[in-house]
Structure 1
Amino acid sequence: MTHPQNPFPCQLTRREFVWEMGGGFAGLALAGLMHENRVFGNGAVFPAPSANPLSPRPQQLPAKAKSVIFLMMNGGPSQVDTFDYKPVLQKYAGQPLPEGKTFINSGGRKVGFLTPSFRPFRPGGESGLLISDFFPKVREHADKLAVIRSCHTDSHAHGSALVAMNTGKTFIGRPSLGSWAVYGLGSENQNMPGYVVILDKRGGPIGGQPNWSSGFIPSSYAGTLFRSVGDPMFDLRGPGYMDLAAQREQLDLLAKINQEHMDARPGGQDLAARINSFELAYRMQAEAPAAVDLSEETPQTLAMYGVGQHPTDEYGRNCLVARRLVERGVRFVQLYSGGGHLEETWDAHKSIETNHGQHAAEVDQPIAALLTDLEQRGLLESTLVVWGGEFGRMPFSEGPGEPGRNHNPYGFSMWMAGGGVKGGTAYGETDDFGFEAVVNKAHLHDIHATILHLIGLDHELLTYFHQGRDESLTDVDGHVIRAILA
């Protein structure tokens, strides 16, 4: 019998309640087994926390590209001064933006007058793609490029826009594009990280580590910061008094103790990821320093990248290291141009000519060399190269006599080249002034979906169960831009 003040829970007897609760647990176990065997669909099956998280996995889709090199122009390059020619700006120079163009002007800065491109555009290659004189070397590779001129994003502020371009959302805590790529495909080289990030020596992007974080998926898939000079990581080498054999014994003992801890507390991921990071660091001691050792390169190759020359030395080294990394099976490499804030990045508020003149001169020759080098080595077909920033810039100045431009999330340009991309093409359009995307608009989720597709991942099937739902990079949004596929 039950006490009158303690009725049956949910109008059930105790035995009924316990029986139904037990049936629910059995159902959860059955659902898990059915999911692993893909009874519910075609979702990918990824390794358990205790398995090697970087073990290579098959592509979900047939694709040529195996690796990605993302050339991130931190600060927001101007589309109307680089890859989106707008002759109408010359015709209406000095006039205000037409009425009806509503927008949020980032930072409350002054709104000036329509301003033409600061440098001429010229056709490149057989395709005749119009590319600015800010990028004369890249223009020589016009027939390799698929320029997307209708990109748009969700924020006009650097911090949130950078996080969005890297993770798909404007708030921190989500896995980055590189993390999703390595989570989906693993890595072909078990002695190197699957995802490497090389920052500008002037500093990292606003927002910092969340831009290459693994978010809520295991930390084994987070980006690893590399340096292109000296040891790629601090404290990579062990202490001088301990050789590799002694380190191996130490790691084996630590792994045994940690495994006993995990066996008593199954399901944990953080400790498993830490164990894997120890093992990876041990294996990296031999291979990682060689990856950044440019003494193995010929003088001709170093000169092609601009290594040892001003102002191309740093980004030339970074691009050359990126080639050496994908050559060694690293899945995703991201190179930042511009560090810190304002004029140290592509954030050209004061002067497009001065700012873009400096930063484009630093990267134009190295990027062109990277495309040449990848092609000569037979790596371009298996490497997707992506260029872009977190947003673009306005077609008008910041005030009378002010030669800078403010942030523009409404319409900007990016390009892709290499594995699976149709070169010599332009996709989408902004309006006559280069202000907003109007034809074949490409949201950042479309960009992400296309990148994943080109490396053999379906953005709708690449999911991770988190807090009660299957999370994805594009969050049930995004479309593959098939017009740029070869």
Structure 2
Amino acid sequence: MMTSFSRRTALQSLASGFGYLAFSGLAHESSAREQEGAFDLSPKTPHFPARAKRVIFLCMEGGPSHVDLFDYKPALATRNGESLHSKQDGGLRLLGSPFRFQQQGESGNWFSELTPHLAKHADDLCFIHSMHTDLPNHSQAFLQLHTGSFQFTRPSLGAWTLYGLGTLNNNLPGFVTINPPSGNGGAKNYGSAFMPSICQGTKIGTNQIPDFYAKFMGIDKEPGPPLKWVGNSFQTRQRQRQQLDLIRDLNTSKLRRDSQHQEIEGAINSFELAFRMQGELPELLDLSDETSDMLQQYGIGNGQPTDRFGRQCLLARRLAEAGVRFIEITAPTSWDHHFNLRQVLGESCLATDQPIAALLQDLKGRGMLQDTLVVWAGEFGRTPYAQSGSGRDHNNLGYTIWMAGGGVKGGFKYGATDEIGHKAVENKCHLHDLHATLLHLLGFDHRKLTYSHAGRSFRLTNVFGNVVEEILS
């Protein structure tokens, strides 16, 4: 029988392995067991030579306003205050952007005055101005962005990436999500659903837990040291190994008896990963070895508004450099700007613009951008008409995302919305098309990367999706 001391140590190892995902029970909803033994995460050969080895997904939760950032619409400014339609439509009045736009770089792509640092990378970015998704509701659109489906629990894009490519570093999770939101589907957005649980994302930090509760529970709100419970000060490493071997043998024995048990495989994997993480993760999350110039480049320190997201972006580079396949970082402020657009959109950009530009420059300087796919996206965009006179409503009919590195054309734009930025009208790109293209850049035919479950071969794009060949370098 395990002592209370042993149980506590086991829980510590478990929690460190999945950063409170497993500890809180959320891992149970995405645990699975392969029919034949444990899933092998060793590096795998994709269907064809990959252009990208890894993905850094910059998640702008809430729906950033494309018509105020990258999709310049002079007609919207000209028609400011007009009714959206020719007939009276309940007060939907067009709202011209209050921000100045300017063409940047040799590509001449348009950038708002809110993104001065990112504008310097105009010739590195590939814009898709014709994105559209199925619903204008946060929870469904956010889940569809991450999993391809808003109706059913499906593996996330990060889980598919790890499942297809395997890991480059067995001492680290292959899929990490930094400060993910707790709403809009929560752990489903980085879960593995019916895939092996080892493919789910490891959560580090959180955006949406009150400070007092985080302190009471010992939860890390900020990514970086000290990551709670990753070390074990009670036992030597040899004693830990002996203890985990015993726990693993007991769990494996029960797994054989039960044939299928969702929780047990997740427990075995998390114990083992947590043990291996102790030797590498604490050092990786410690930014003290970065130069002052590097910290300044990312806007870290001195209480700057860029400090929090700067740390996330710098950690993303360090994780990518260490072999993590898929890193998602969520912006610390919501982009759901229904009111006071002029102020709050400016605040969101102030917190993220410099760190994102620094990440791109850092990756380029290390020769990593060419095989690292950086994706910037929210779940949808915003309407060209005003809400409450000073903000914008949700818009799933047309919006903008951008990508950089990893095999996409730099200084390129694809697709277009109408003259006011309301609907995608040229080279329309659905989320299924985006997912098909991302998998293609990673070396996979999205129609052939499948997982057999409940008598059906599932894929990220379901039965849809076309690769956007025009954006490939």
TM-score normalised by the shorter chain: which range applies?
0.7 to 0.9
Deviation for aligned residue 1:331: 0.4
Aligned partner of 2:202 in structure 1 is 224
| Residue from 247, 251, 256 that aligns with 1:258 | 251
| Residue from 236, 240, 260 that aligns with 1:243 | 236
Aligned partner of 1:320 in structure 2 is 314
* Aligned counterparts of 1:428 and 1:363: Cα–Cα separation in 2: 25
Aligned partner of 1:19 in structure 2 is none
Deviation for aligned residue 1:101: 12
Q: Residues 326-371 of structure 1: CA distance to partner in whole angstroms, max 9, x if unpaired?
A: 0000000001014xxxxx5111101221111001000000000000
Deviation for aligned residue 1:172: 4.7
* Aligned counterparts of 1:332 and 1:466: Cα–Cα separation in 2: 23
Asked if 1:79 corresponds to 2:66, the answer is yes
Contact conserved, 2:99 with 2:113, CA < 8 A, in 1?
Answer: yes
Deviation for aligned residue 1:262: 3.5
Letter in 2 for 1:363: T
Secondary structure class of the residue paired with 1:260: helix
Deviation for aligned residue 1:311: 0.5
Secondary structure class of the residue paired with 2:46: coil
Q: Residues 291-329 of structure 1: CA distance to partner in whole angstroms, max 9, x if unpaired?
A: 111011111110000001411000000000000000000
Aligned partner of 1:332 in structure 2 is 326
Deviation for aligned residue 1:207: 2.4
The equivalences for 1:175-324 within 5 A come to: 175-199=155-179, 204-227=182-205, 228-231=222-225, 233-238=227-232, 240-266=233-259, 270-309=263-302, 310-324=304-318
Query: Aligned in 2, Cα 1:350/1:49: closer, same or farther, shift over 3 Å?
Result: farther
The equivalences for 1:35-114 within 5 A come to: 50-99=37-86, 111-114=91-94
Aligned partner of 1:404 in structure 2 is 391
Deviation for aligned residue 1:450: 0.9
Letter in 1 for 2:37: S
* Aligned counterparts of 2:135 and 2:420: Cα–Cα separation in 1: 20
Query: Aligned in 2, Cα 1:412/1:111: closer, same or farther, shift over 3 Å?
Result: farther
Contact conserved, 2:128 with 2:401, CA < 8 A, in 1?
Answer: yes
* Aligned counterparts of 1:194 and 1:49: Cα–Cα separation in 2: 21
Deviation for aligned residue 1:134: 1.3
Q: Which runs of 5+ in 2 are unaligned?
A: 1-32, 206-221
How many residues are matched?
424
Letter in 2 for 1:215: A
Contact conserved, 1:225 with 1:233, CA < 8 A, in 2?
Answer: no
* Aligned counterparts of 1:190 and 1:166: Cα–Cα separation in 2: 24
Query: Aligned in 2, Cα 1:49/1:242: closer, same or farther, shift over 3 Å?
Result: farther
Secondary structure class of the residue paired with 1:65: coil
| Residue from 446, 451, 461 that aligns with 2:438 | 451
Contact conserved, 2:67 with 2:421, CA < 8 A, in 1?
Answer: yes
Letter in 2 for 1:237: G
* Aligned counterparts of 2:109 and 2:130: Cα–Cα separation in 1: 15
Asked if 1:128 corresponds to 2:117, the answer is no
Identity %: 47
Q: Residues 413-450 of structure 1: CA distance to partner in whole angstroms, max 9, x if unpaired?
A: 00000110100000001011100001100001111111
* Aligned counterparts of 1:320 and 1:232: Cα–Cα separation in 2: 16
Query: Aligned in 2, Cα 1:137/1:162: closer, same or farther, shift over 3 Å?
Result: same
* Aligned counterparts of 1:132 and 1:298: Cα–Cα separation in 2: 31
TM-score w.r.t. the length of structure 2 is: 0.86
* Aligned counterparts of 1:139 and 1:100: Cα–Cα separation in 2: 39
The equivalences for 1:421-432 within 5 A come to: 421-432=408-419
* Aligned counterparts of 1:94 and 1:156: Cα–Cα separation in 2: 23
TM-score w.r.t. the length of structure 1 is: 0.83
Contact conserved, 1:47 with 1:53, CA < 8 A, in 2?
Answer: no
* Aligned counterparts of 1:111 and 1:334: Cα–Cα separation in 2: 39
Contact conserved, 2:81 with 2:95, CA < 8 A, in 1?
Answer: yes
Aligned partner of 1:471 in structure 2 is 458
Q: Residues 443-480 of structure 1: CA distance to partner in whole angstroms, max 9, x if unpaired?
A: 01111111111111221111111222111110010111
| Residue from 380, 392, 416 that aligns with 2:369 | 380
Compare 222-231 and 67-76 and name the one that shifted more.
222-231
Letter in 1 for 2:204: F
Aligned partner of 2:20 in structure 1 is none
* Aligned counterparts of 1:305 and 1:286: Cα–Cα separation in 2: 27
* Aligned counterparts of 1:255 and 1:387: Cα–Cα separation in 2: 40
Q: Residues 184-236 of structure 1: CA distance to partner in whole angstroms, max 9, x if unpaired?
A: 11110100011111116xx5443211111111112111111113544464322
* Aligned counterparts of 1:470 and 1:52: Cα–Cα separation in 2: 17
Asked if 1:367 corresponds to 2:345, the answer is no
Letter in 2 for 1:440: N
Contact conserved, 1:50 with 1:272, CA < 8 A, in 2?
Answer: no
* Aligned counterparts of 1:471 and 1:52: Cα–Cα separation in 2: 17
Deviation for aligned residue 1:263: 3.8
Q: Rg: which structure is higher? A: 1
Query: Aligned in 2, Cα 1:48/1:467: closer, same or farther, shift over 3 Å?
Result: closer
Letter in 1 for 2:266: A
Contact conserved, 1:163 with 1:172, CA < 8 A, in 2?
Answer: no
Contact conserved, 2:39 with 2:196, CA < 8 A, in 1?
Answer: no
* Aligned counterparts of 1:211 and 1:458: Cα–Cα separation in 2: 22
Secondary structure class of the residue paired with 1:397: strand
Contact conserved, 1:74 with 1:205, CA < 8 A, in 2?
Answer: no
Contact conserved, 1:398 with 1:404, CA < 8 A, in 2?
Answer: yes
Asked if 1:355 corresponds to 2:349, the answer is no
* Aligned counterparts of 1:274 and 1:319: Cα–Cα separation in 2: 30
* Aligned counterparts of 2:465 and 2:310: Cα–Cα separation in 1: 33
Deviation for aligned residue 1:139: 0.8
Deviation for aligned residue 1:140: 0.5
Aligned partner of 1:26 in structure 2 is none
Secondary structure class of the residue paired with 2:311: helix
Query: Aligned in 2, Cα 1:49/1:73: closer, same or farther, shift over 3 Å?
Result: farther
* Aligned counterparts of 1:458 and 1:99: Cα–Cα separation in 2: 45
Deviation for aligned residue 1:52: 4.9
Deviation for aligned residue 1:383: 0.6
